[in-house]
Amino acid sequence: MAEMEVKESKKKGPGVKKHKRHSTRVDLTPMVDLGFLLITFFIFTTTVQQPTSMNLNMPKDTKNPDDNTKVKESGSLTLMLGKGNVIYYYFGNDPATMQTTGYKDVRKVILDKKKSTPAEDLFIIIKPDKDATYKNAVDILDEMDINDISRYAMVDPTPDEYSKIQQTEVAGGVK
Amino acid sequence: MARAKIKRGSTSVDMTPMCDVAFLLLTFFILAAQFKPSEAITVTTPSSVSNKVAPQKDYLNVTIDKNNKVYLDMDNAIKSDVLDELGKERNMKFTPEDKANFMKSAFVGVPLSQLSQFLKLTPEQLKGVALPGIPVDSANNELAAWVSAALSARLGEQLNLLIKGDDAAKYPTFKKVIDAFTANDQYKYNLVTNSRDVPEGSELYKKNLREHEANAGKPQQK
């Protein structure tokens, strides 16, 4: 295009040059290709996913012990979240009968308890200890959702329970 | 016999309209795209089955990183009021420069005593600097002061409290953040998570299925 057409086919007369007319049409196919390529790229790189959120409601702090929620011993399951993604659990009020499980198997424990207990008595107490991670806490709260447990609470373990967890951890070699 | 002459059409199509459409779409997508601001704090959030979208308005977001440091950010719309309220509550004087810097800053990651210096830093300067985070200890829970300021700034209107924790953050820090909220009589929070599918066969899965069937069945019974 930058070159000039100098070929003269027919001479009409002296000094009369005929310029060959170029078509003004440009082939737009490559441009369309590029356009659609960019569209595809932008669609794929745009993150559609928005972060979701999980609701957490905590109870009011009550100074008066009479206001505390009463839990039936027969209906309670205590899950203690320890170091290294381990869960220690016991039924009722006796931490001495503590058993160990993990995050994959805890669903079975919860479901077994749910089946064997009347719905209005079932209460799950979640006690994350000092070494549990935020992920552990969210996972177990999520587990409550998954298993459709409506009554649960998150509290700190008692010093007795904590020392028992530590003993078990030391004995089991959990670092 | 005269044979009907089939006129040969040109195989080249006029690409102009197609080109127009392609670039129109391209322009639309580029303009409509919301670019994700580069996050100064990297946090890997845990996943949950919840499918509620995290609130994007009137929020106060507390981020806990993997080193158990606490950072705070909030909706730009409430920032200015929050700083005013904080100044009132803590008897702190903020210069107009501080305020302008605060409006620009993405998050707060230092104790109140260092706030003024912190706000002078540009995002480039913040990169790679180990920030002390906002103190959340029960003796000096400055996060509670921030929450209280934000609540006063909202004048009793709804404030969405978001907690965005890292997988590796320890539970006690999370607990301290909750304590900062409960100290201000706030008991409802949103934990920011990635969504994941409900495990098949679980109670929630069956419940969702039943609800789905009930909804699907309604128009047929009519």
ipTM of the complex: 0.74
Closest partner residue to A147 (CB to CB) among B14, B168, B202 is B202
Exposed, middle or buried, A138 (CB in 10 Å: 0-12/13-18/19+)?
Answer: buried
Task: For residue A20, give the amino acid letter.
Answer: K
- The token duo for A132 is 């549990």
The three-class DSSP label of residue B178 is helix
Of the candidates B154, B126, B21, B147, the one whose C-alpha atom is nearest the C-alpha of residue A39 is B21
B208 at A interface, C-beta within 8 A: no
A5 pLDDT higher than 60: no
A8 pLDDT higher than 60: no
Q: How far is A119 from chain B (nearest CA, A)?
A: 14
- Mean pLDDT of all residues belonging to chain A: 79
Strand partners, B160: B59
A101 pLDDT higher than 80: yes
Tell me which residues of chain A, numbers 30 to 69, contact chain B at a CB-CB cutoff of 8 Å: 31-32, 35-36, 38-39, 42-43, 46-47, 49-61
pTM above 0.90, yes or no: no
Cβ–Cβ < 8 Å for A74, A92? yes
Of the candidates B50, B85, B45, the one whose C-alpha atom is nearest the C-alpha of residue B65 is B45
Mean pLDDT of B158-172: 88
- The token duo for B39 is 């996050």
Of the candidates A95, A167, A81, the one whose C-alpha atom is nearest the C-alpha of residue B171 is A81
Q: What is the pLDDT of residues A32-83, one digit of tens each?
A: 888 888 888 887 777 666 678 888 888 776 666 666 677 777 888 888 888 8
A157 at B interface, C-beta within 8 A: no
Give the residue, B221 or A130, on which the prediction is more confident. A130
Q: How far is A12 from chain B (nearest CA, A)?
A: 33
**Closest chain A residue to B18 measured between Cα atoms?**
A32
Residues in chain A: 175
Cβ–Cβ < 8 Å for A137, A131? no
